[in-house]
Amino acid sequence: MNFEIPKETNPGKIVEVTIGATAKQGGTRSHTITIGGSTALPFHFFEGEHPHQPVIAMEVFDKVPAKYPASLMDYYRDVIDKPADMAKKCVEEYGAELISVRLEGTHPEKGNKSAEEAAEIVKQVLESVSIPIIITGHSHFEKINEVMKKVCEVTEGENCLINYVETDNYKTIAAACIAYNHTLVAQTPIDVNLAKQLNILLTDMNFPAEKIVVDPLTGTLGYGLEYTYSIMERILNDGLGGDKMLAFPMLINPGYESSKVKEARVSREDYPEWGDQELRGAYWEIATSVSLLAAGAELLIMYHPKAVEVVKKNISEMFDLKNGD
Amino acid sequence: MPLSGLDIFKLLPKTNCGDCGVPTCMAFAMKLAQKKAELSECPHASEEAKETLGAASEPPIRLVRIGGAHALEIGNETVMFRHEKTFFHQTGIALQLRTSENKEQLLSKIKEIENYKVERVGEELKTDLFFISHNSEEKDVFLKILQLVKENSTKGIILDCPDKEVLKAGLDWLRDEQPAIFMQEEATDKDIELAKNHNASLVLTAHSFDELARQSEKAKEAGVNDLILNLASKDAGLQLQNNTIMRRSALKKNFKPFGYPLFAFIQAKNEFDFLAKASLFLCKYDSIIVLPQFDEAMLYTLFTLRQNIYTDPQKPIQVDPKVYPIGEPTPESPIFVTTNFSLTYFIVSGEIENSGISAHLVVCDTEGQSVLTAWAAEKFVGEKIAKFIKDIKLEQQVKTRKLIIPGFVSQISGDLEENLPGWEVIVACQEASDIPSFVKNVKLT
Amino acid sequence: MNKKYKVKFFPFESTVSVSSGTSILDAAKKANLPLKATCGAKGTCGDCVIRVLSGTYQSKHSAALSEELIRQGYALACQTEVNDNLTIQLPQFQELSIKIVSGSEFFEEHKNNISGIYEINPVVKSISLRVPPPTLEDSYSDLKRLEREFRKKLSTEDLNCEYSVLRKLAHVVREEKGEITIVVFRSGQSWTIIDVKEAKAAKNIYGLACDIGTTTVVLYLVELTSGKILSTASSYNQQLKCGEDIISRINYAQKPDRLQELHNLIVMTVNNLIDKATRSAKISTADIYSASVSGNTTMIHLFLNLEPRYIREEPYVPTFNQVPIILSRDLGLKMNYEGRIYCGPAVGSYVGSDITAGLLCTPLVRDSKKISLFIDAGTNGELVVGNSDWLMTCACSAGPAFEGSGTKCGMPATEGAIEQLIIENNGELEYKVINGSKPKGLCGSGLVDLLAELFIHGYIDRHGKFNVEKAKDRLVEDETGIGFLIEKGNNSYWGKDLIITEKDISNLIRTKGAVFSACSLLLKNAGLTFDKIDAFYIAGGFGQHLNIENSIRIGLLPDLERNKFHYIGNSSLLGAYLILLSDKNREMVNEISKKMTYIELNTEPSYMNEYTGALFLPHTEMELFPSVKQILNS
C-alpha cells in the first residue's frame, strides 16, 4: 500500500498582528515584531503557511513582586527593582524579544502608584531597550482604566501591546488604544465562547482586528493547564476553520503563572519526591510553554532564563524545518 | 464513522421492553453511541444491528500491552484532539538502563526507580517501563540486568538488543512478561517470528512512511498484531509532523498499517532540552517516552503534564477532601471552606496564599464539582459540610470557631450554623481573586 | 411594656405577632415573607408597597408612592409601624387573573392536530336510575337492587360501592320512589359507586383541571357531561414565600415539619382557587368528583406530601413516576368526600406530568415521520424532541424571568402587564397593556419584545450592556443602578419609573440562554440539528401572545421558517383538561411517559459550553441566526 500524506487545508488564516513601531512608523523601536498569519496548526509546515515564529517576551516590574521565587531572584537580584535595567538585562543576556512591563504596583491594594508614576516607568523602559514592549495591568477596573489611558497617551505611536481588557471592562482601554494607536490583548477566562464574545464586542466598536491578541488565560502546568490547553486548541481550530472572531494570535503567561505555584517555591528537603528545586522551577515553565506552543500560543511572556533559552532554541529548530524544505 | 444515537436506535427493536436494563430503546442506543454499553446486552438485537455496529466499533488504533500482571496499556486512541472526546491511554514513561553502566550501582538504581512514586491530586504517579539497552560487549550483563529488573520490579520491559542471540535468551527469560522488542533496524522475518513466538510486541523502526507501512503490513501478515511505530526523524519538528500524519492517517483515512501506538526516541542536548521535546511529544501522540536518566524533578514535571493531557476534559479532576494548611497555620488561624474540584482548590489556595495570611482550607468532597455546581447538585450544602467537619474532627484541630464560606453559597450559611452548633459562618466574596482584599477588610476569626 | 399586635398577611394567610412600633416590613420578614426593599428600608424604592385591608395605621410620607395610591390604602411597609392589629395584602402576590387560552376553544381549533383525543368520556359519570323500593316479593338488598338497575344500563361484572354510599343508600332509595342519581367512577373495567343522591338533587357533576406551577397555579372548573369550562382561576403558588425555584423548595422541605408546611400551602392555594371558581360558577364543591392535576415532579411531590429531596440528589430519582388514583379527602382538597384525583406521570426528576400532559396538546406523538420539538419555558425549562417512535426529553434551570419573576420590572401575564411592545425609530415606546390600565410591569411576552427591540435598535450591545451613547436620553438611575426607562412614574400604575436594568437584562439573557442551549444539546444527543425539526411547539407562562420573530431575534428560538413555530400557551393545564375529559388520554399519557428517554443535563459535560455560547445576543455564533444578522447589517 503506497502511503499518501493526508493534508488538510484550512479556509481560515490567523490575523497578522504587528507590535511596536519604528521611527518611520511613528515610534522609536529598532524593529517591529509580527505574529499570526498561519493557515495550519502549529509547526504543520507540510500543510500550510507559518510566516512568523512564536516570540518570547520577558517581564519587568514596577514594584518587586511579593512572591518572587528565590531561584529566579538569583538571576535578577541586582535589577529586580530597576525595571529599565532589568529590561536591558533580559534583552542583552537572556535574549528577550519583547519586554512586558507589569504595573501591578498601581493596584490600590498593592502600592497604589499613580498613573503618572506608571507612565514614567514605561518611558524609562522604552528608553533602555529598543525592542517592542508590552504593558501589563491588573483587574481593578477603575484604576487600570486611568493608568492605561495615561500610559497609552505618553507612548503614543509606539504601538505597544496593551495587556489587557476583559468583557466587563473593555471600552475605556480599547478607546485609548484606538486613539493612540496601540495593539490590545483581549483576555477571557478559559472559554471559547467568552473569547469570541469579547472579540465581537471589540470589533463591534470598530476596534481593528489586526490589533487584537487573545489571552485565553493561562493555567500553568498542574494548575489548569488541562483546560487552557484544550481551549487554545479549540480556538485555533475554529479560527483556522474560518471563524474570523477566533482567528487571532494567542498570548500566554507561563512565567507569571509558574512563578506563583508551590512547585517553584518549595525546597527538596520539604518535598523530596519533587526533585531538585532549581531544575524544577525551569522545568515547570518549559513544560507549560512547550505544551501550549503545541496548542497554538504565539507570544509567551516568560521569566526563567533557562526556560527562555531552551524554548527559544526549540522554536528556531522547528522553524529550521520550514526554512530547510 | 461513529454512529449517532438516532442511527443506532433505528437498528434496535423499538419495543422499549427494558430487558437491557435501560428503560427505552433510545436510551440504550445513546449508551451504545457513547460506548457505555454493549449490543449483546439487548437480547432482541437483529443480525443487521450486530453487523453494522460491529464494524463501527473496531478501534482504529490498536491497544497494545507491555508487561505482565500490571501491564501498561497504550493505543486505542480515537481522536486527534483531546477536546473531541479524550485521550484514553496515557503515555508510558520508561527509564533507560544500559549494559555499559556501572554494574554495582545498577541494583540501587533499579530499586530507586521502582520505589519512586509521587502523589498528585489523589493519583499515585509512577514510571511504567524499563528500556534496557545492550550497548556493550559483555553478553551476560544484559541478562543480568533483566534478572535484576524481573526480581525487583513489576514494570514492563522493552528490550533494545541488536545481538539477536542475546535477545532470544532474554526473551526466553521473560516468557510470561509480555515484553516489547525495540528494533533499531528494519525488522526481518526472523525478528517478527521471534516476537510472535515470545508473545512480545514489536517496536518497528523505519526512516520513511512507506518503509514503516511496509514493515507494519509484513508483521501483521506474519501474525504479530501488537506493534508500536517508530518513524525515526532527524529533528523534533519533523517528528511532530510525522506523529500527526500517522495518527491522522489511522483515524481519518483508516490507513491500517499506521493503526498502532507511536514511539519516538528523543535526542537532546541537555536535560532542559530533553524536557522541552518530551513535553511536545507527550502532547502530540507519543505513547512511549524513554528517559535517559533518573531525575525526580523531570519525572514529576512529566507526570503532571501527562496527568493534565490525559485527563478526560469532560470530567473534573478532584483533590482529596481534607484540611489543607496554607502557609503555616496555628489553631487560631482562619478557616476557609471550599469544594474539591481541583481548579477551585488551586485557585482558592493560591489566592489565600497571595493574601499573605496563613489559614486552614477545608476541602469538602463534592465529587470534583465547583462551588455553584456542587451546591445545585446538593453536594455543597449545610448538612453535608457540617457532617464533613464533624467527621474530620476539625473541632479538635483548631481553636477558631468561624468558618469562611464562598460568597456564591451565602444561602447555606443558616443551615450550616444550625447543623454545627457553636460555630459561626462568615460569608466571603464570590470570586477567589477578591480573597486578598476580603482578608484585609473582614475580621476572620 | 411593649404591646403586641397581630399582623395577618394575605394572600399567604400568615399571621405574626409583633411589638408595637415594629415596621410592617420587619413583621413581614418575621413571617418569612418575600417582601423586599432594595433601598434598604429608606422609603425611596417603593418595592415594599402593601395595602392595608383592616386596622389603623400611619405612614411616614414617601415620594415613592402617589397620593392616589395612598388614598386607596396603599403604604410602604418600611415606612409604616404596627400600632394596631392589621390585615395586610401584599399586592405583589395578590390574586391573579392570568389570561388563559380557553381549553375548549383551543381544542376545537386543534383537535385534528394533537396527540390526545378531544372527546367527552370522563371516568366519573352521573347516571339516573329508578330503584324500585323493596317489597316482600323483591327482597333483594338495596344495593343488589341498585346493581340490578345499573346493569340494565351498563353491563359490567365488576361493580363496587363505597362505604360512604352505603351509609346513605337506604334513605335515598326510599325517598322519591327510588328515583335516584348515582355517581360512578370507572377504572378500567371496574366501576365504583362513589355517590348516591335523590333525583331532585342537582344532576350536574364537575371536575377540575389544575396546573401546579412553581410560580403560579391555574385551574379550570369543568362541567363533566359537556366538557364546558365554567370558570378559570389562577393565583401565585403560596409556596413562593419558601423559595422561588424548585431547588429552594426542596431545600426548604428538608427541615422537620417543613414538608408538611409546603404541602399545606399548596393545598391551600388550590382550595382557594376552588372556592373562587365554584363561587363564580355558583356550584357546590361537593359536586366536584374528579380532578386532573399536572405539574413538575417536585410540585407533585409536595402536593402529595412526599419527600422531594431525592429529586435533587444524584442519581436524581423521584419517589414515583406513575401515581395511583388518590382520594380528595386524603389531601384535604375541597371536593366531594369521595373525589378522585389523578396526577399525570413523570419521566424523571425534572420532567414531570406538566410535560407529559402538555405533549397531548401537540402532534408530537402522532406522527412517525415528522420530528417535532416541544419547549415549555417555565421556571424550569423542559424540552421534548421526537415523534411516535421515540421521545427524548431534558430539563434546564431557566429561571422565572419569562413568567415575570426575577426581574425588577417583570410580572405575570395579568392585569396591568405590558404584553406587547415596540420601540419606534424616534426612540418612543409603544406598548399594549393587558386590560388597558396603566402599566405595572411586563409579562414574559413583553419582556421578549423589549429585549429584542433594545437589541435591534442598538440600545444594548450583544452582551446586553447599554450602549450609553445611543441610550443616554432614556437612561435613568435609581437605587438599583442604571436602567432604561420604559415608562415615567406619572404614567405608571405604581407611580414610579418603570425601568429595566442591566441586571434584569442579563437575567433574561441567562434564561433564554438556558432554554436555547438545552435545545441544542438535546438535539445533539439525538444526533439531530435544528433544520431537521419539522415543527416547534412552545409552551409557557409568557402570556397570551408570544412574538416569534422577537423570540428568534433574542436567540430564545432558532432562526428557522416562522411557520414551523406554534405557541400553545399553558399546555400543562390544557393537557390536564384533556385527561379530565377522557380516560383514553390518561392511558395515552402513561404510554407517552414510558416512551420518553430522559437526559440528565447536570451530568452532560458540554452543557456549560453550549450555555456560554448562548449568553449573547442572539448567540455567540451569529451564523446560527442569519435573519438577525441581516437585520443588523441593514
Interchain CB contact of B280 with A (< 8 Å): yes
C385 and C521 housed in the same domain? yes
Q: Residue C612: its chain A contacts at CB < 8 A?
A: 191, 193-194
Q: Distance, in angstroms, between B23 CA and closest chain C CA?
A: 8
Residue B1, pLDDT > 60, answer no
To the nearest whole angstrom, how far is the Cα of B442 from the nearest Cα of chain C?
22
Query: Pick the residue with more confidence: C410 or C66?
Result: C410
pLDDT at B208: 94
Q: Which of A167, A169, A192, A193 to mutate to test the interface with C (most CBs of C within 10 A)?
A: A193
Residue C349 domain-assigned?
no
End position of a domain, from candidates C198, C218, C233 = C198
| Residue span of the structural domain in which A282 resides | 17-324
Assigned domain for C598 exists: yes
Asked whether residue C619 is assigned to any structural domain, the reply reads: yes
CB-based contact, B25 to chain C, within 8 Å? yes
pLDDT digits (tens, 9 = 90+) for B132-150: 999 888 888 999 999 999 9
Residue A37: phi, psi to the nearest 5? Answer: 90, -5
pLDDT per position as a tens digit, A313-324: 999 999 988 776
Instruction: For an interface test with C, give the residue of B3, B4, B6 to mutate (most C CBs within 10 A).
Output: B6
C320 and C208 belong to one structural domain: yes
Tally of domains in chain C: 5
Cβ atoms of B37 and B24 closer than 8 Å: no
Q: Is A323 on the interface with B (CB under 8 A)?
A: no
Q: Which residue of C has its CA nearest to A196?
A: C620
Residues C371 and C268 placed together within one structural domain of the fold = no
Q: Are residues C239 and C265 in the same domain?
A: yes
Q: Give the pLDDT band of residue C550 (cuts 50, 70, 90).
A: very high
d(CA C178, CA C523): 62
Is there a single domain that holds both residue C9 and residue C72?
A: yes
Structural element, H or E, at residue C596 = strand C596-599
Q: Rounded distance, CA C305 to CA B227, Å?
A: 63
Same domain membership, residue C394 and residue C517: yes
Asked if C314 reaches chain B (Cβ–Cβ under 8 Å), the answer is yes
Q: What stretch(es) of chain B map to CATH 1.10.15.40?
A: 5-56
Architecture, CATH, for domain B323-441: 3-Layer(aba) Sandwich (3.40)
Q: Name the closest residue on chain B to residue A307, using Cα atoms.
A: B272
Chain A with chain B: Cβ pairs closer than 8 A: 171
Average pLDDT over residues C183-195: 91
| Residues B214-226, mean pLDDT to the nearest whole number | 95
- A9 in any annotated domain: no
For residue A45, list chain B residues with Cβ-Cβ distance below 8 A.
Answer: 237, 241
Q: Which residues pair with B424 in a beta bridge?
A: B402
Class of domain B63-310: alpha beta
Among B54-58, B72-76, C629-633, the minimum mean pLDDT is found in B54-58
Domain with CATH 3.20.20.20 in chain B: 63-310
> Which residue, chain included where needed, has cell 406523538?
C365
Q: How many CB atoms lie within 10 A of CB C112?
A: 8
Calpha distance C70→C68 (Å, rounded): 5
CATH of the domain at C301: 3.30.420.480
Q: What is the pLDDT of residue C99?
A: 66
Strands ordered across the beta sheet of C216-223: C228-236, C216-223, C206-212, C288-295, C340-343, C326-327
Tell me: do C484 and C575 sit in the same domain: no
Residues C379, C518 within the same domain: yes
With a CB-CB cutoff of 8 Å, which residues 454-473 of chain C face chain A? 461-463
A144-158 pLDDT tens trace: 999 999 999 999 999
B148 DSSP assignment: H
Residue C251 falls within a domain, yes or no? yes
Q: CB of B444 within 8 A of CB of B404?
A: yes
> ipTM of this predicted complex?
0.96
Domain B5-56 CATH class label = mainly alpha
Q: Does any domain span residue C354?
A: no
Residues of C in contact with B33 (CB under 8 A): 527
Our CA-based measurement puts residue B308 at a distance from the nearest CA of chain A, in whole angstroms, of 5
Cβ-Cβ contacts under 8 Å for B221 (sequence gap 6 or more) = none
pLDDT at B366: 87
> Residues C401-422: what's their mean pLDDT?
85
Q: Is B213 an 8 Å CB contact of chain A?
A: yes
Q: What is the CATH number of the domain that holds A52?
A: 3.20.20.20
Note whether residue C98 is domain-resident.
Answer: no
Q: Is residue A183 part of a domain?
A: yes
Chain A positions in Cβ-Cβ contact with residue C455 (cut-off 8 Å):
none
What is the reported pLDDT for C534? 93
Q: Using the Cα atoms of residue C147, residue C152, residue C158 and residue C161 in order, give the sign of their dihedral.
A: negative
Q: Which of C313, C527, C596 sits opposite B4 (nearest CB)?
A: C527
Number of structural domains chain A divides into: 1
Q: Looking at the structure, do residues C472 and C619 belong to the same domain, yes or no?
A: no
What residue of C is the nearest CA neighbor of B378? C313
Report chain B residues whose CB lies below 8 A from the CB of A306: 272
pLDDT tens digits, one per residue of C590-613: 889 888 988 877 667 788 888 889
Return the C-alpha cell found at C135.
Answer: 317489597
Residues across chain B? 445
> Measuring CA to CA, which residue among C133, C138, C141, C120 is closest to residue C180?
C133
User: Sign (positive/negative) of CA torsion A27, A31, A37, A42?
Assistant: negative
Q: Is C597 on the interface with B (CB under 8 A)?
A: yes
pLDDT digits (tens, 9 = 90+) for A128-149: 999 999 999 998 899 999 999 9
* Share in percent of chain C as helix, strand, coil (round to 5): 35, 25, 40
Residue C108 placed within a domain: no
One domain for residues C522 and C607: yes
Task: Return all residues near B234 (Cβ < 8 A) that are at least 6 apart.
Answer: none
Write out the residue range of the structural domain in which residue C254 sits: 204-343
Q: What is residue A195's predicted lDDT score, i.e. its pLDDT?
A: 96
Please check whether residues C382 and C513 belong to one and the same domain: yes
Q: pLDDT by residue (tens digit) across A240-299?
A: 999 999 999 999 999 999 998 888 888 898 899 999 999 999 999 999 999 999 999 999
Q: How much is the pLDDT for C454?
A: 96
Q: Where are the beta strands (DSSP E) in C372-516?
A: 372-377, 381-386, 391-396, 417-423, 429-433, 441-442, 475-478, 481-487, 498-501
Taking the Cβ of residue B300 and every Cβ of chain A, the question of whether any pair is shorter than 8 Å is answered with yes
Tell the burial category of B223 from Cβ atoms under 10 Å away from its Cβ (0-12, 13-18, 19+): exposed
Angstrom distances, CA of residue C538 to CA of B277, B341, C113, C542, C626: 55, 37, 15, 10, 21
Report the residue of C242, C251, C396, C592 to disrupt the B interface, i.e. the one with the largest count of B CBs within 10 Å. Answer: C251
A193 to chain C nearest CA, in Å? 5
Minimal CA separation from A160 to chain B, in Å? 27
Split at pLDDT 50, 70, 90, the class of C317 is: confident
Contact A278, A46 (CB under 8 A): no
Collect all residues from A whose CB is shorter than 8 A from any CB in C: 167, 191-194, 196-197, 200-201, 204
pLDDT band at C74 (very low <50, low <70, confident <90, very high): confident
Looking at the domain assignment, is residue C213 inside a domain?
yes
Residue of C597, C598, C610 to mutate, testing the B interface (most B Cβ within 10 Å of its Cβ): C597
Chain B closest-CA separation from residue A236 CA (Å): 12
